[in-house]
Amino acid sequence: MCGIWALFGSDECLSVQCLSAMKIAHRGPDAFRFENVNGFTNCCFGFHRLAVVDQLYGMQPIRVRKFPYLWLCYNGEIYNFKQLQKQFGFEYQTLVDGEVILHLYNRGGIEQTASMLDGVFAFILLDTANRKVFLARDTYGVRPLFKVLTDDGFLGVCSEAKGLINLKHSTSLCPKVEPFLPGHYEVLDLKPSGKVASVELVKFHSCKDEPLHAACDTVETLPPGSFDLETVKSNIRMLFENAVRKRLMAHRRIGCLLSGGLDSSLVAAVLLKLMKEINISYPLQTFAIGMENSPDLLAARKVAAHIGSEHHEVIFNSEEGIQAIEEVIFSLETYDITTVRASIGMYLVSKYIQKKTDSVVIFSGEGSDELTQGYIYFHKAPSPEEAAEESERLLKELYLFDVLRADRTTAAHGLELRVPFLDHRFTSYYLSLPAELRIPKNGIEKYLLRQSFEDSNLLPKEILWRPKEAFSDGIASVKKSWFSILQDYIDQQVDDLLLEKAAEKYPFNPPKTKESYYYRQIFEKHYPGQGNWLPHHWMPRWVKATDPSARTLKHYKSATQE
Q: Which residues are catalytic?
A: 2
Determine if residue 529 is labeled as part of a ligand binding site: no
DSSP per-residue codes, 82-106: HHHHHHHT---SSS-TTHHHHHHHH
171: number of Cβ within 10 Å:
11
Q: How far apart are CA 437 and CA 441, in angstroms?
A: 9
Helix (H) or strand (E) holding 350: helix 337-356
324 alpha-carbon distance from chain centroid: 21
Q: 265 in helix, strand or coil?
A: helix
Residue 12 burial by Cβ neighbours in a 10 Å radius (0-12, 13-18, 19+): middle
* Helical spans, DSSP H, in 433-475: 435-438, 447-452, 461-464, 471-474
The vertex-416 CA angle with 411 and 417, nearest 5°, equals 95
The DSSP call for residue 29 is B
Nearby residues of 458 by Cβ (< 8 Å), 6 or more positions away: 266, 269, 270, 273, 307, 464
Phi, psi of 291 (to 5 degrees): -80, 165
How would DSSP label each residue in 100-150? HHHHHHHHHHHHHHHHH--EEEEEEEEETTTTEEEEEE-TT-SS--EEEE-
Pairing of strands 146-149, 40-49: unpaired
Closest of 347, 303, 316, 321 to residue 457, by C-alpha = 303
Residue 404 annotated as binding site:
no
Q: Provide the phi-psi class of 94: left if phi over 0, else alpha when psi is between -120 and 50, else beta.
A: beta
Q: Are strands 196-203 and 184-190 parallel, antiparallel or unpaired?
A: antiparallel
Please choose, from the candidates 438, 448, 470, 460, the residue with its C-alpha nearest in 3D space to the C-alpha of residue 268.
460
Cα(327)–Cα(323) distance, integer angstroms: 8
Instruction: Annotate 323-342 with b (16+ C-beta within 10 A) or e (fewer).
Output: ebbeebbbbbbbbbbbbbbb
Is 364 annotated in some ligand binding site? yes
Strand partners, 8: 155
> What does residue 272 show for φ and ψ, rounded to 5 degrees?
-65, -40
User: Which amino acid is present at 504?
Assistant: E
- Binding residues for ATP, as ranges, are 257, 289, 364-365
Q: Which residues are annotated as a binding site for L-glutamine?
A: 97
